[in-house]
Each structure stands twice: as structure tokens, then as C-alpha cells.
Amino acid sequence: MAIRFDREAGTFTLHTKNSTYQMKVDENKVLLHTYFGALTDESDYSYLIVPDDHGFCAQPAGAGGDRRYSLDFYPQEYAVHGNGDFRVKALKARLVGKVPALDLRYESHRILEGKYTLPGLPHAWAEDGDAVQTLEIVLRDLYEEVYVTLLYGVYEEENLITRAAVIENRGDTALEVGRAMSLCLDFPEGEKDLVNFYGKHAGERQPERRTLGHGITEIASGRGTSSHQHNPFVILCDRDTTEESGACMAVSLLYSGSFQIQAEVDQFDSVRLVCGINDEDFCWTLSKGETFVTPEALISYADDGLGALTRGLQRAMYRRLIRSPWKDQRRPTLVNNWEATYFDFTGEKLLAIARQAARIGLDMLVLDDGWFGKRNDDNSGLGDWYVNEEKLGCTLGSLVQQVNDLGLKFGIWIEPEMVSEDSDLYREHPDWAMTIPGRDPVRGRNQLTLDLSRREVIAYMKDSIDALLDSANIAYIKWDMNRSVDNVFSAANPELSQGAVRHKYVLGLYEVMEHILEKHPDLLIEGCSGGGGRFDAGMLYYVPQIWCSDNTDAIERLWIHHGTSYGYPMSAVAAHVSVCPNHQNGRVTPFKTRGICAMQGSFGYELDLGKLTEEELQEAGEQIALYNANYDLFQRGDYYRLSSPAENGDFTAWSYVMPDGSRASLSVVYTDLHGNPKPHRIKWKGLIPDAHYLVDGRAYTGAALMHGGFVLPRPECNYDSYMAVAEKVEE
């Protein structure tokens, strides 16, 4: 049993193969958090909580005159506002007309086989018969008919615990929820580091590690999406934790909107971490009998370093979060026309690219922005999802058929959440756009955001995408979103603005995506938001891959891929070979290096194949053949960060290893050159020590490659690269 309840001690103990998580119902029916860490026994770890009479630490109801009992320093499972705890909270709510205050106490619990679900929200899943259990703990306010059900899913083999909360109003007076976090975690020991992943457009998910000091550290997005600037994923670790050793814990929020993660070190050096929907301007009203469900959060623990932590999380997400049938199917290698043509294309130009794609062995042509409405630049046409046949010179169905006749699949770009003011849709329904009455709208990329809190907008979006997909043999869509959400106001629901509209927008987005997947189950969707502006675990529930960044420069992608690897499966990283000089920064890198870097994820090209030399076309064909020959390794192998671009200025290296150790790859990109250079050696990881591997025609034992190391070839030019595949030799 992964979940065990000791009735006498009042403890709930959750076990995965590597960790133990424990809670306790104390004598006042407060649900305390007693332990989360390395796998251990089911002792009552509440002995670690030390009661004391601390000044200015108040006592809650039921504590009587015991000044040693205070929720201001006791570790709690779901901290609330209004019961004497002055640290960051998980929940703040009030009955209309009353002061916000809650005092939640244990009411009941259930242990169930299988995994709970969250209708309308992404969540880790399980199939009938899987070794997964659910724990439901019901808490009730001491004074009002307010209930909170804490949900825990325990995936023992995947070393994964999921958390969510359901807030319910059973009273007659409406309840206003101003803050509703998905989880709250308390740790008595305060010497922790926080690793977060900051960034910008074209520079996403840069790892940053800081020692937590006293006070509140916040990682958040208020942009309506998870954002380029911050990511809803953090790691909390001991200060001596490295890639190879030390205790560490990952928290990933399954949410694609504005989020908030806070870590507080309190007066007694304890650490509390909470995460959930950003509470800025948030307000959700519950009438009698209504509930609010928080997004799900994933937590995972390792005591053998950051590498083991993130590989375990990658595997868990791949197995238990991504649902697309394309997860286990061979995804197409493709060419996207965007950097080749931008808006300046015709049907014949596209077919010319398709002919070259077929020649070198690609699987798909993707038509990017500019195929619809009156769309020759980024100032018009969004919302008018009908084909510009004059521009194409034919119907979309005819173009797709001609591409299919070349042996290629066809994909297309859409940005359905946006509308241009110069569009038929906006002229007919200006109130569908989110703008503030009486004010000139705040524009992003000269476009406005559609109000996905409205049922008619959701219906229009579903119908438009269905009509497009029904019009031709479209196998793939790239779903883009190119601005932050601002001026949040719903003309249909002004009383909701801004308090509930942001969250309703995200729920509307999820509803549309769920509809598309149900109606078109074989469709491959790639997520995108100006590149990696919505690269989060919530989106992976709907799409198996996400365009990692609009920055296609191979060297800067080393940094972006490195940071992304800490929290997400590398199979979800969409990466392409682009033209040089690079369109984002002007850098020139060898064609070989661009290919090796792009093979870290779902592989493709973002250039005009017709402008490649014969030598480059031949090299592209070889890259495609290499990627296809090692597809399972790159998509399903365990990913090892062998060197960090932040710590090694000479080269960045990574490796994939098949779970059974039968095959492994080593990839290296040289980032600096020196006169009279020293030899570089790299140590492989994850191999079978006593197995023999063939690398570049020479046999090595796994132990030799991992402990002695491997001598890298000397680079021949600026930004040179190297890739090798180690094959286990059958004895």
C-alpha cells in the first residue's frame, strides 16, 4: 500500500519508491505536515515539532491557555488566513460581508484505488489496474459551512505525488475566494536553495540558483500565461546538492496561466513553499453548493542529486501526463516555411520547399503565418480563419493534396486566441476582444486577446478550427499565442473582471483544446507562445511537444535546452535547424552543429531548403537519417547533462541513454577555442559498468567511459561539434 493511515497515531504516510510524505491529525484536529524526504518507515514524525512559548505567536481556537501551541510556527498541510499563522498562506476566503478568516480542522478521509481526476483541468492520469492510489482528506471550517478537500495522488513507481484542493461552500452566504493555492509544503530546516528558471522572449528557462534568506522569495507570472519570464517549476534543495548528490525536491504546477510560487524562510528558519494561481486581482465567488478546484501540482523527491531528480520527473511526465497518441508514435521530421518566407509566399513557393523536403527525406511541410484572411503582415487578419486562395493560387485542399502526392504530410499554423482590429471578426464582434471600455486598448504585436471566458467565443474557436481541419488532410497544427494578456475585462461578464476572467480564460483554452483532440484524435499539436512563453506542464497534457523558443541560434539554444531539461521531457522540446547568419542574433555556426543541437528534441528545419547548397542538402539528408536511426534513443532515452554552458565555457555536452543501457549518445558543442589547447575529456553516465560498448570503432567498458572518461576530438573550427553513439556489444 502506497498510502497508509495509522488511526491511533492519526498519521497519513505516503510512500513512493524513493520518498516518504507524512501528515498528522493532532489533538486539535489540525492537519500538520510532519515529514517529506527520503524513503523511511511509518514512525510518527511529529516528534520533530517542538512546542514552545514564542512571543507574538498566537493560539488558535481549542488551544486554551497552552502558549506553546501556535500555528505561527507549526508545520501545516494547508495553511489558511485567519487562524494566527502570519506566514504565506495557501487559502484566503471570506463570506460576503464578513472578515476573511478560516480555521480548517480535519473532518474525514478516504483512501481510494486509482487516481482522482480534475474535469476541465490538466492532471496526471492512470489507467484501470495501475498501482496508483488517491487520498482525500476533508477539512472543515470551525465556524462556517466551508469545506476543503485535499487531494493526493501517489504514483509509487514513478516517485510522484500529486496535489490539488477543492474548496466548497455549503452555506447560504456566498463565499469569495481571494487566494487558493494548489499545495503548501513546510520544512523545519531552513538551509535550502531555490532553483528557478527565468528568461525573456528568445531566452527562456535560464536556471538560477539562490540561497533562501529570511523573508519571502516569489517566482510569478501575471501575464495571463506561464510566460517567457518565469516558469511554473522550481527545485528546492539542500545547499550542498549537486548534479550527482544531495537531497532535492521538484514542484511543477500544471497550469498555463498566471501563477505564483512563494518560498518563505520564517523567524525560526523553517521554510514554507506554496504554489498555485496568482492571487493578484483574483476573486472567485462560490454560491451555496458550488466548488472551486485548484490546478494540480506535481512533487518529486530525490536524495542523489539534481540529475536523478529531473530524469525521474521527465519519465513521470512522459508516462503519466502526456496523453497524445503521438507520444509513442514516430513524430514527423518537418520543415517550417516561416524563416524561409515569412509572409511572402505563394502556393508554388511552398511546393518548391516541399519538393526539396521530400528529396532529403523529411516527413512534413508546415505552413506558418499568413495563409488566412487578409494577412500579409502581423497587423491584420487574426480571427478570420478562412483560406486566402488568391495568395495560395489554389484551395487549401488542393495545396495539401499536392504536398501529400510528394509523400509528405501537411501541417499548418494557427493563433486562435487572438484577433486583429483589422479583421472581419473584430468588425462584427468588437466586444469579443478584451479591452477596457472608454480606454484605448493596450496592444501586443498589434493584436488583441479574445475573451475566452465567453461561451460564444469558445464556440467560435471550436467551429473555426474544426472547419479548417475538415477542409484538408491536415496532420499537424502549430498553436501559437503571441502576446501577454492585459486589459482584462469581459464585456459579457463585467462583474467578473478582473477577478475570475483570467482563470476562466485558461479554462476556456483547455476546453477548446480538449474538444479538438476528442474530435481529431490523430492530430499532432505543437504548442507555442512566441516560442517558449507557454512551455509548462499543463500544456503537455494537451500537446506532446512545444516550440521551445523563437531563438533558433544553436549556441543560445544550448542554454535554453539545458534549463528546460531540469523540468520537462526532452521529447517535448521542438527544435529546428535554421539559416545562418541566424535571424535572431546574426551568429554563424556550422550546419553540423545546428543539426546536433536540434536533435535534442523533436527535429526539423526552419529555413528555405531551396537556398541550401548541394553539400548542405546532402548533410541535411544525413542528419535526418541519423535522427531517424536513433529516434527511440533521442525520444525515450534518459537525458544526462554532462556539462553546463554556465560553468564550462569551452563546451556543452549531453547524453541520452536507453533505459536498458543498450545504446547511448554523446553530443558536444564547442563554445570556445584556444591556441595550444589541452585535451578535453568527458565522463559518460548511465552505462552498464561491466558491459562493452563500441564507440567510433573502438571498444570500451561502461566503467571505463564513466570513470576514466572519453577523449573528445579536437575542434576544427569555431562552434564545431561532435556526436557519437555507443552500441552495447553482445558477448
CB neighbour class for 314 (10 Å; exposed up to 12, middle 13-18, buried from 19): buried
Question: Around Cβ 525, how many Cβ atoms within 10 Å?
Answer: 23
Residue 5 CA, chain-centre distance (Å), reads: 33
Q: Annotated catalytic residue: which of 536, 556, 606, 619?
A: 536
Which residues on neighbouring strands pair with residue 477, listed in sequence order?
412, 525
**DSSP SS3 for 538:** helix
Q: Between the CA of residue 646 and those of 197, 379, 573, what are the distances in Å? A: 13, 38, 20
Q: Between the CA of residue 727 and those of 129, 637, 712, 723, what are the distances in Å? A: 36, 14, 18, 13
Residue for cell digits 589547447?
677
- The DSSP H or E segment spanning 537 is helix 537-540
Cell of 26: 493532532
Say if residues 666 and 655 touch (Cβ distance below 8 Å).
yes
The residue type at 544? P
The residue type at 286? L
Phi and psi dihedrals of 415, rounded to 5?
-135, 70
Phi and psi dihedrals of 631, rounded to 5?
-55, -50
Asked if 208 is an active-site residue, the reply is no
Q: Which residues contact 8 (CB under 8 A, 6 or more apart)?
A: none
Strand 215-221 and strand 663-670: pairing?
unpaired
Say if residues 600 and 568 touch (Cβ distance below 8 Å).
no
Q: Quote the DSSP letter at residue 707.
A: I
Say if residues 577 and 605 touch (Cβ distance below 8 Å).
yes
Q: What's the CA gap between 107 and 109, in Å, rounded?
A: 7
Q: Annotated catalytic residue: which of 389, 431, 616, 622?
A: 616
Q: What's the CA gap between 219 and 202, in Å, rounded?
A: 19
Question: Around Cβ 674, how many Cβ atoms within 10 Å?
Answer: 8
Question: What is the rounded end-to-end Cα distance, in angstroms, of the chain?
Answer: 40
The CA-based diameter of the chain, rounded to the nearest angstrom, is: 86
Q: What's the CA gap between 193 and 674, in Å, rounded?
A: 35
User: What HEC string does 95-127 produce?
Assistant: ECCCCCCCCEEEEEEEEEECCCCCCCCCCCCCC
Q: Is 446 left (phi over 0), alpha (psi -120 to 50) or beta?
A: left
- The DSSP H or E segment spanning 458 is helix 455-471
Which residues on neighbouring strands pair with residue 656, listed in sequence order?
639, 665
Four-residue CA torsion sign, 222, 228, 232, 238: negative
Say if residues 158 and 16 touch (Cβ distance below 8 Å).
yes
Say if residues 200 and 242 touch (Cβ distance below 8 Å).
no
Question: Around Cβ 189, how many Cβ atoms within 10 Å?
Answer: 11
Asked if 42 is an active-site residue, the reply is no
Which residues have a catalytic role annotated? 536, 616
